[in-house]
Structure 1
C-alpha cells in the first residue's frame, strides 16, 4: 500500500499537464491525496486518519467526497477489516464508523447467490442507521443500494429516495442508486432512465457532479443496439454535457477520473473517437475500474488497449496518411 501511494505521488508529479503518459505510469483506482494516507494507515491497523477524513467531510458537508471515500474505505475493509473492527470497538456509536460498516455489510452480501434474501434481512438495520445520521445523505445512498439489491418494491424505494433528496437534492451517489434501480426494475426502459437523468442534470448547479448523470444513463443504453439507435441524439447530448463538465476541471485530476473514463468509454462506443482520444489524454495516469470492467476482468488492460488503438488512429490521420472521416460511426459492441 505504501509503495502504491508513493508511486501515485510520483506519477501525479510527472503528469500535471499530460501529453502521453507511459503505460507503466498508469494507475488503476488510485486514491487522491486525502484518501491515500488514510488507506496507508488502515493497512497498518490505524483507523485515526480514516476517522479524521470522514469526520471532516461530514462537518463540511462534502457529500460527494464523503460518498466516494466511504466506498473506497469499505472496499479496503473487505480484505483488511482489523482497523475498522478496532474503530467500532473503541467508538461504537461513531457515525463515520457506522457508515463504513453499513456499506461493508452491503458489499459482502452483494455477490452472494442469495443476495436478495440476505439484503432484505439487512435493510432494516441500514435504514435505522441512516435515520440517525441527521443531514448526511450518504447513509441513504447505502440504504438505496441495499433496497435495490433486495428487490424492494417501488413504494419502499420511493420512501427511501424521499429521505435522501430531502437531505441533498443533487447528491450524485443517491441519483446513481436511483438510476440503477430504475434500470434494473424496468429492463428496456432506456427512455425513462434518460428522462430521469436529464431532469436531474437540468435542475443541478453548473458545477454539480450530478450533471453527468445523463452520461451514466447513456452507459446503460449501450447494451442495446436498438436503444442506441432510438436515443442516439440524447446519448450524444449526454456526452456533450459531460465534455463540458470535464473541461471545467484540470487535466490529470483524480477527482474527475471516473467521469473522464466513463466519458471516453461512451464516446468510443458512439464512434466519436477523436473526442474520446482527448478524454483519454485528460485522464493522465488515472484509470478507474468502472466502466472498463464491464467487458473484461482486466479493466486496466482494456483501457490501455483502447488508448493504444486511438493513438494508432491519430498517427494514421497525420500528414502522409490517408484521412479518416470525423463523422465515422461504429456500432455498439465494436470496442
Structure 2
C-alpha cells in the first residue's frame, strides 16, 4: 500500500490473530474460544499479555462468571476472574464510583484465591500489583516495604518479587509498579519513576521488554511539562533520550520476535527514535508495527491530546518521515 494511502488501525490483539478471534467471541458473551486459547498458550509472556487483554474486554460482561459456573475447577477461569474484578476495581477507583472500596476488597480476595489455585502463575501477583496503585497513601503494610536498592521508594516490593519468582522480568509487573509510583500520595515524583525505570532496565537481560521502560517515563515527563515555557521538542534529542532509545532498540527490539512485542512498547520505541531524529533506525520499527498503532504516546505530541485524529496525524507524519529515510530494497524477480 502506498504511504499516502496508509491508515493505521488500533486493535488490542495486534498481531495475535488467535487472540483477535477469541476477543470477537468474547464481545458476544461467548467464553469457549477464550478458554481454548488460554489452554494453548505456551509461555508466561504470552499468557500475561493475553489474560490482560481478555480481562479488559471481559470486565464489561458476565462471560467469565458463566465460564466459572460451567467449570468451577478451571484454573484458567479462576485467574481470569481475578483479571476481571481487578479491572473493574481499577476503573471504579479512577471514576470515583461509590462501590470502589467494595470492588477493591472483592478483587484482593479473588487475587489471593487465584494465587492459591495457580501457585506457579505470575498473573495473580501482577493483579495485586495493579491493585496497589489504589492504595495511594500506602496504608497497607505490603505496599510500603523497604526497596531493594538505593534511590528507590517504599512500595509493594514483595508482590513484585513474587511475580519475578514465577516469571523473571515480567513486563506487566514492572509497568504496574511504575503506575504505583505515579499514584503515590507521599511521592509519585518523576525522579522516583526515572530511578525505578533505570534500575529495572539496567538489571534486565538482553531481549527483555524492560529496556523500553525508560521511554515511558520520558513520555510522562513530556506530558507533565506541556504548556510550560520550555523547548519541549528538545526533550527528545538530549543525550539521555538518545541513549534510552538506542538501548531499547539494540537490547530489546533487535533481539526478539517483533510479532510478540507489546504494540504499546513498539509505538513508544518508534516515537522515541523519531523524536531523537534517528529516522533510519526507526524505519524497521514502524515496519514491524504493520497496520497497527496505539494512540499513546502520539497523542501527547498533537495539539489536542484528547483528539484521536490528532494522534493519528502525528503518527502518520512520523512514519512517512522515517520510512523515507530508509526505504526497503526493491525485490528482484527471483527474490
Coarse TM-score class (shorter-chain normalised): 0.7 to 0.9
Verify: 1:23 aligned to 2:1, yes or no.
Answer: no
Q: CA, structure 1 residues 282+219, in 2 after alignment: closer, same or farther (shift >3 Å)?
A: same
Q: Tell me the alpha carbon deviations over residues 258-297 of structure 1, each in whole angstroms, 9 at most, x when there is no partner.
A: 2221123334555656655653344220112443456634
Contact 1:120 1:150 in 2 (8 A): no
Q: Tell me the alpha carbon deviations over residues 173-230 of structure 1, each in whole angstroms, 9 at most, x when there is no partner.
A: 1011112212332656333323322232232221222222222333332234589869
Verify: 1:76 aligned to 2:84, yes or no.
Answer: no
Gaps of 5+ in 2: 146-154, 326-335
1:154 counterpart residue number: 144
How many angstroms apart in 2 are the aligned matches of 1:237 and 1:42? 41
Q: CA, structure 1 residues 30+124, in 2 after alignment: closer, same or farther (shift >3 Å)?
A: closer
Gaps of 5+ in 1: 1-13, 318-335
How high is the TM-score relative to the length of structure 1? Answer: 0.73
Q: CA, structure 1 residues 160+126, in 2 after alignment: closer, same or farther (shift >3 Å)?
A: farther
My pick for the range that moved more, 216-225 or 307-316, is 307-316
How many angstroms apart in 2 are the aligned matches of 1:124 and 1:89? 20
Q: Tell me the alpha carbon deviations over residues 92-122 of structure 1, each in whole angstroms, 9 at most, x when there is no partner.
A: 2322222222222222232331486345423
Q: Tell me the alpha carbon deviations over residues 298-326 of structure 1, each in whole angstroms, 9 at most, x when there is no partner.
A: 44x23430134336767999xxxxxxxxx
**TM-superposed deviation, 1:50:** 1.0
1:210 counterpart residue number: 210
How high is the TM-score relative to the length of structure 2? Answer: 0.73
Contact 1:277 1:307 in 2 (8 A): no
Task: Say which structure, 1 or 2, has more relative contact order (CA 8 Å, 6+ apart).
Answer: 1
How many angstroms apart in 1 are the aligned matches of 2:277 and 2:169? 31
C-alpha RMSD over aligned residues = 3.5
**TM-superposed deviation, 1:241:** 1.5
SS at match of 1:28: coil
1:309 counterpart residue number: 317
Q: CA, structure 1 residues 22+257, in 2 after alignment: closer, same or farther (shift >3 Å)?
A: farther
2:329 counterpart residue number: none
2:108 counterpart residue number: 124
Q: CA, structure 1 residues 211+229, in 2 after alignment: closer, same or farther (shift >3 Å)?
A: closer
Q: CA, structure 1 residues 274+82, in 2 after alignment: closer, same or farther (shift >3 Å)?
A: same
